[in-house]
Structures are given as C-alpha cells and as structure tokens.
Amino acid sequence: MAANIPHTGQKRVVIIGAGFGGLKLARKLANSPYQVVLIDKNNYHQFQPLFYQVATAGLEPSSISFPLRKVFQGVKNIHIRVAEVLKIDAESNQIITSLGEISYDHLVLGIGCDTNYFGMDNIKKYAIPMKSVSEALALRNRLLQNFEDALVDENPDDIEGLLNIVVVGGGPTGVEVSGTLAEMKNQILPKDYPELDFSKMNIYLLEASPRTLNVMSDASANKSKQYLEKLGVIVKTATQVKDFDGKHVYLGDGSTIRTNNLIWAAGVIGNKIEGLSADIYIRGNRIKVDRYNKVEGYDNVFAIGDIAFMTEEKYPNGHPQVAQPAMQQADNLAYNLKAHIKNKKLKPFSYTNLGSMATVGRNLAVVEFPFYKFQGFIAWLVWMFVHLMSIVGVKNRLLIFINWCWNYFTYDQSLRLILKAKEK
C-alpha cells in the first residue's frame, strides 16, 4: 500500500492532524504555491467543545463533525490521506504512515492531546474519557444503558452504582457536562423512566484545586459553582481522586463514592510520534517551539496548537490549550510559509487573548472578554453564538441551531438512542 501522492514540483507541506490548527492551516494554504498533504486518522474534522452535548444526547455526532474532503472540494493543491502516522524520519524528510512513506519539505504537527490519567492504571481502565466523537457516543450509550439496567435490577447497591455519576475535573468540560447531566436528571429522565426514583441519583463534580474554572476569574468560578449547585450537582473542590475500581471512587480524604460511572475530564497529555528527539518535550508531552512555531533543533518541522509549548512575556508557561491559540498559530504559520517561498521577512507569533467562556446549563453561562466579564442569560446567548459560528459547515450550524431551539422550548431532544456496533 502506498500514499500515492503526485509529484507536482511544488514544495510540499505535510500537516499531521485535522484539528482546529491543522484544518485552519490547510485552508489558509489552499490555492497557494505549496502542495499540501493533510493527514488524519479520521476523514472528518470534529468540534471538540461540543463533545459533551453528544455524550448527553443533546446533539448527534454528525452535527459536530464535517468531512475533510467536503472542505477542500475543487482545491487542487490539497491532498487528504486517512492514515495513522507511525514515525518521523527527520534526516530523510519523511514520515512513515500506515499507507507508506510520505516525503515533506515542511512538516507541521497538529496532533493535539489525549486524556491524561496521571499514571493511574485503574482509572485508565475503568473511567470514561471524552476526547473524541466516538468516545462521546460511547459515553451516551453507557449512560442510557445504565438507566435501562437500573429498571430491571432489584439490588439497591447495584442501582446506586448505575445511577450515580462522578465527573472529575472542574474545567469547562467538567462544568458543562455536569450541568447538562443535572438538567437531564431534572427535566428529561423522570419522563423517560417514570419507574425509577431519580432523587436517588447523584451527580458529583470533583476538582483537585480550590475552585472550578481555574482559567477564569474568581467571580466566574464562584458563579459557576453557584449555578451547578442550583441545578443539584454536588461540587467538591480541593478533592483528589486516588483510585477507581469500577464500582467505587476513592478520594484523598479516605472517603468513597459508589458509582459505576467515572467521567474523566481532569487533564490532557500531548500525543507523541516516534522519531523526534526526547529533548524537545516538556511536561505534559508538549513540544518546545520558537516564536515561529519551529520545533527546537529542527529547521523544517513545526508544531501548532495544544501540542506546542511557546513562551511569551505574558505566557511564560505557554499558551492555554484551547482552540484560539491553535487557530492563531495556524494563521501566522501560513503567513510565514507564504513569506518564506517569496523570500520575505517572517513574522513572530503573538497570542491575542479573545476571552474564555463556559456554559453550565439553560440560561446559565459565564463569559470573560479582555474588556468585560458577565454571567447569566446574556452570557449564555453569547456562548451559543460564538460556538455556532465556529462550527464548520452551514448545514451543521443550521442543524445545531434547530436542535438548540427545539431543546429550549421543549426540554427534550429525542436523541436518546443507544447505538452500538454490530458484534461479529
């Protein structure tokens, strides 16, 4: 098997990863003098900020995913290959993939991050991650199947384990999934399962630091906690998870929580590809890059997004691992690649913080812009608008908007389907 990419005489830019950074870079280089090869293990771009809505049956997976080939229809200099990258051979300017070898003139790593279990093997084995559309769908299947199982189980301890949900990690993902689960418990599940007593269902949000939403201000953190508790979420800050055996969560203070369902949103760790020097990695497997996103020690290898560790005066510990730095770095790198081929001066990257936000539930959100902070209904509308405009594809935006409107007025999405692969 071979990648079968035509040789056009153009300088070739190979981009590994079609996340926010990789996709933005490829779009910026469309119809440029470069030949661009975009490689991803999936044939679609996935919108990570809304994974939790797939996991809680608020959206279908297809509405937050967009086919890569649809994005680049009619663009002759873009070549897409669905493959797994196995190794980088920097000396010969090649990458080894599941489709064979692919040469490059410039290599860009946009490989992102995966779930960080901090070396806890049991949690890796039993906890439920949410870093991809498929994992979000698996979580949806798991939660819905639990309610079906609880209907027919007569053991109170088993029922408690099936109904209780523990979310670990008080960042935006943990806050959003906890709030949405609480709304399901309050508004939807009692109608779907009238035979179950949902007063016995507890949703916990555990955070090791003293407050939720550490990346935001104290006012936003306090308001998010207030919103969650209003919805019925049991919020425990300054609480460390030590272990999970599939039935009990063991906490740092010696106490336990009975649950079969531990949703792990407590951290990320960079994905690694064999072949690069070990010296380029820092804590969390992030790759050291300069202000031009060039990987330390390499002339033609770049890294962007979550995987890239770049320091600025305002960001001595690197940029936040969210979409905006990835997209801004992609913009800047595209500019520099075009400037390089024309022998023009390159532009160093400087991050512009456009703000941060998180939604807790219906009419409940916190938003922080550099010039203004606010919470509540208006913040919730802003959160929806920003995320809607960030979705790839007009059809996807329309579908999500219709789903959100329907859910707002009916409290019910009717998307609670258990979809499992057929067993051979």
The percentage of residues in the chain with a pLDDT greater than 70, rounded to a whole number, is 99
Give the chain's domains with CATH numbers: 12-41+83-115+268-341 (3.50.50.60), 121-266 (3.50.50.100)
**Which residue has 């690694």 as its token pair?**
272
Is-contact 333 110, C-beta < 8 A? no
Pairwise CA distance, residues 21 & 113, whole Å: 12
85-89/261-264 β-pairing: unpaired
The pair phi, psi for residue 132, each rounded to 5°, is -155, 165
- The span from the CA of 356 to the CA of 329, in Å, is 18
Q: What is the pLDDT of residue 4?
A: 86
Q: Count CA atoms within 13 Å of residue 143 on its CB side.
A: 27
Q: What is the dihedral of CA 40, 22, 55, 186, to 10 degrees?
A: 180
Q: State the SS3 of 382-393.
A: HHHHHHHHHCCC
DSSP class of residue 187 equals: I
| Average pLDDT of the chain to the nearest whole number | 94
Helix (H) or strand (E) holding 166: strand 165-168
pLDDT at 411: 79
C-alpha 171/C-alpha 178 separation (Å) is 11
- Helix, strand, or coil (residue 413): coil
Contact 43, 80 (CB under 8 A): yes
Alpha carbon 368 to its chain centroid, in Å, reads: 20
pLDDT, tens only, 73-128: 999 999 999 999 999 999 999 999 999 999 999 999 999 999 999 999 999 999 99
Other residues' Cβ atoms within 10 Å of the Cβ of residue 422: 4
Does residue 233 have a pLDDT over 90? yes
- Among the listed residues 176, 183, 207, 368, the single catalytic one is 176
* Mean pLDDT on 379-391: 94
Catalytic residue list contains 423: no
> pLDDT tens digits, residue range 293-349?
999 999 999 999 999 999 999 999 999 999 999 999 999 999 999 999 999 999 999
Among positive and negative, which fits the CA dihedral 40, 44, 48, 49? positive
List the Cα angle 81/85/86 in 5-degree steps.
Answer: 150
Q: What pLDDT shows up at residue 2?
A: 65
CA distance 297 to 318: 19
Assess contact for 307 and 272: CB atoms under 8 A: no
Average pLDDT over residues 170-192: 94
Question: For residues 384 and 328, is the Cβ–Cβ distance under 8 A?
Answer: no
Q: Report the SS3 class of residue 254.
A: coil
DSSP state string for 95-134: EEETTEEEE-SEEEE---EEE--TT-HHHHHHSB--SSHH
- Dihedral sign, Cα of residue 375, residue 378, residue 383, residue 384: positive
Give tens-digit pLDDT for 411-423. Answer: 777 788 888 766 6
